[in-house]
């Protein structure tokens, strides 16, 4: 899988992503400590509001940027976003009011809502070959998982010798380094789509016009239900249900990350042999089984078995979520014309975070008011309904047809058979520009 790093442009873009992620992780730790300094015992509500602001920024800004991003220089767009993020981080150590934190968090996350979809849309053009792109997606998944483990450990080490305000300096340096790496990368010319037909559609409307991308939105909701349970209630399970120390919280979160990483490492070879649908839909349905296991742990009144059981449940959540999320880029890449990819990635970024905006407060509010039993039932039910909806929206019934105007190596032809008149394959019904007037 590491062979994909031999590609010079991708290697620099991937390094930019990793360094920016580490900087963001340091900022997350520092923001928690800053919130405590400003609000004391109410720091949790400050962070909860900041998290909601983050999601609002993602949901509102990404589609607006996606609508115009394909007409703007992509390198300039990503570099500007990095510089804005660095500039915001410079001001964070000097805030003295909670409202200032909220404003800066909105600006910081708005810039991230510009950078991330643009970055995601560039990678399939940098790595047009399906096999290499699949491995890049797994590398990206690993980067997110490793950051969640590495950044808190790095922050803890740094806090032993410096105050938390200096962590924001690491954030600034991370975003500046990311900008420098993007500047140094030679990006391919903006791709055009031969024979796209059917007119140009962009943003959320174009995204939802494709049946399997509607299924992807349902899959995102299932993942958000599981991920919110882990993120919001890990500390409650560790401290209240199991009666463990604070030091066990990172262990629980680490189990989730470990499950995700194992699957991310295994997926490239699996996806070489089976289609995305055969991986993503079973993984979403598996989430409901894992919720049932979590229900058993939650309902149990005692027993030492609950500790390894919870770690196993968290690892299974991570594995299933990774199996759904990792192929997402492949699905979008195959479903929309090249010139509309940035808008499609921006739409997916916005819609998926809209799912998190729903499940985050639900996991927290239900856990605090109705208890973990009802929270598990509610989020498990959401995951089940979303998974079944995805199965319905992404039918397996074949629709054989021939593409006569797509070039060799085109991502949509990854599983196609060469015939005298072009390339023949089958898949569920699509309504994108690629399939207008096909026989």
Structure tokens at 18: 């990793």
- CATH architecture of residue range(s) 1-191: Up-down Bundle (1.20)
State the Cα–Cα distance between residues 378 and 295, nearest whole angstrom: 11
Strands 417-419 and 422-425: antiparallel
- What element of type H or E holds 25? helix 8-39
- β-pairing, 401-403 vs 422-425, is antiparallel
Regarding the domain delimited by 202-393, which CATH topology (the fold level of the hierarchy) does it fall under? Answer: Growth Hormone; Chain: A; (1.20.1250)
Neighbours of 299 (CB within 10 A): 10
Of 68, 335, 329, the C-alpha closest to 202 is 68
Contacts of 4 (CB under 8 A, 6+ apart): 10, 127, 132, 135, 136, 139
- Residue 116 confidence (pLDDT): 87
Q: Would you give the end-to-end CA distance of the chain in angstroms?
A: 38
Strand partners, 422: 419
Whole-number CA gyration radius for the chain: 22
Q: Please give the distance of CA 75 from its chain centroid, rounded to a whole number.
A: 21
Q: Quick check: 113 and 65 in contact, CB under 8 A?
A: yes
**Sequential DSSP letters for 312-375:** HHHHHHHHHHHHHHTTHHHHHHHHS-GGGHHHHHHHHHHHHHHHHHHHHHHHHHHHHHT-HHHH
Using alpha carbons only, give the angle 269, 275, 278 rounded to the nearest 5 degrees: 100
**Start-end ranges of CATH 1.20.1250.20 in the chain?**
1-191, 202-393
Q: Contact at 8 Å (CB) between 23 and 75? A: no
Query: Sign of dihedral through CA atoms 59, 61, 62, 68?
Result: positive
C-alpha triplet 230, 139, 61: angle, nearest 5°: 65
Residue 36 Cα distances to 41, 91, 252, 282, 396, angstroms:
7, 18, 24, 42, 51
What's the Cα-to-Cα distance from 89 to each of 54, 92, 176, rounded to whole Å?
15, 5, 11
Q: Digits of tens for pLDDT over the chain (439 positions)? A: 677 888 899 999 999 989 988 888 888 778 877 877 887 766 666 766 787 888 888 888 888 877 776 677 889 999 999 999 999 999 988 888 888 888 988 998 899 888 988 888 888 888 888 888 888 888 888 888 877 777 767 776 777 787 878 888 888 999 999 999 999 988 887 655 443 333 345 578 878 888 889 999 999 999 999 999 988 888 888 888 888 877 787 788 888 988 999 999 999 999 888 889 999 999 999 999 999 999 999 998 878 899 999 999 999 999 999 999 999 999 988 888 777 788 888 889 889 999 998 998 888 888 888 889 999 999 999 999 999 999 999 877 556 677 777 776 666 666 666 777 777 776 655 555 566 544 3
| pLDDT, tens digit (0-9, with 9 covering 90-100), for 37-70 | 887 766 666 766 787 888 888 888 888 877 776 6
CA distance 327 to 271: 8
Contacts of 246-251 spanning 24+ positions with Cβ under 8 A? 250/152, 251/311
Nearest to 345 by CA among 53, 62, 74, 12: 62
What is the 8-class DSSP label of residue 406?
P
């Amino acid at each position: 899988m590491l062979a994909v790093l031999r590609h010079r442009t991708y290697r620099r873009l991937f390094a930019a992503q990793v360094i920016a992620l580490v900087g963001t992780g340091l900022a997350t730790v520092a923001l928690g400590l800053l919130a405590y300094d400003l609000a004391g015992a109410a720091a949790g509500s400050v962070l909860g509001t900041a998290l909601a602001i983050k999601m609002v920024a993602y949901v509102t800004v990404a589609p607006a940027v996606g609508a115009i991003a394909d007409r703007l220089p992509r390198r300039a767009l990503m570099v500007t976003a990095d510089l804005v993020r660095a500039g915001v981080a410079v001001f964070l150590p000097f805030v003295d009011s909670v409202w200032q934190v909220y404003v800066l968090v909105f600006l910081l996350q708005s810039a991230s809502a510009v950078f991330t979809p643009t970055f995601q849309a560039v990678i399939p053009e940098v790595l047009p070959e399906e096999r290499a792109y699949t491995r890049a997606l797994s590398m990206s998944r690993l980067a997110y998982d490793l950051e969640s483990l590495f950044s808190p450990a790095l922050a803890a080490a740094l806090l032993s010798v410096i105050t938390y305000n200096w962590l924001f300096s690491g954030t600034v340096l991370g975003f500046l380094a990311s900008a420098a790496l993007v500047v140094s990368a030679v990006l391919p010319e903006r791709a055009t789509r031969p024979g796209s037909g059917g007119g140009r559609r962009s943003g959320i409307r174009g995204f939802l016009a494709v049946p399997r991308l509607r299924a992807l939105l349902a899959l995102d909701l299932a993942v958000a239900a599981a991920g919110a349970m882990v993120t919001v209630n890990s500390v409650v399970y560790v401290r209240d249900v199991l009666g463990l120390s604070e030091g066990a919280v990172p262990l629980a979160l680490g189990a989730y990350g470990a499950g995700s990483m194992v699957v991310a490492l295994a997926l490239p070879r699996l996806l070489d042999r089976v289609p995305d649908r055969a991986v993503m839909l079973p993984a979403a349905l598996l989430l409901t089984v894992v919720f049932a296991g979590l229900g058993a742990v939650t309902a149990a009144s005692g027993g030492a078995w609950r500790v390894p059981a919870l770690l196993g449940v968290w690892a299974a959540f991570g594995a299933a979520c990774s199996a759904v999320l990792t192929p997402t880029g492949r699905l979008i890449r195959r479903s929309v014309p090249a010139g509309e990819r940035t808008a499609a990635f921006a739409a997916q970024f916005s819609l998926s975070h809209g799912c998190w905006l729903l499940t985050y407060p639900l996991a927290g509010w239900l856990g605090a008011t109705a208890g973990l039993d009802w929270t598990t039932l509610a989020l498990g039910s959401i995951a089940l309904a979303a998974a079944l909806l995805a199965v319905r929206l992404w039918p397996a019934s074949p629709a054989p047809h021939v593409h006569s105007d797509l070039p060799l190596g085109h991502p949509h032809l990854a599983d196609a058979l060469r015939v005298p008149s072009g390339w023949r394959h089958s898949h569920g019904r699509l309504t994108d520009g690629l399939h207008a007037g096909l026989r």
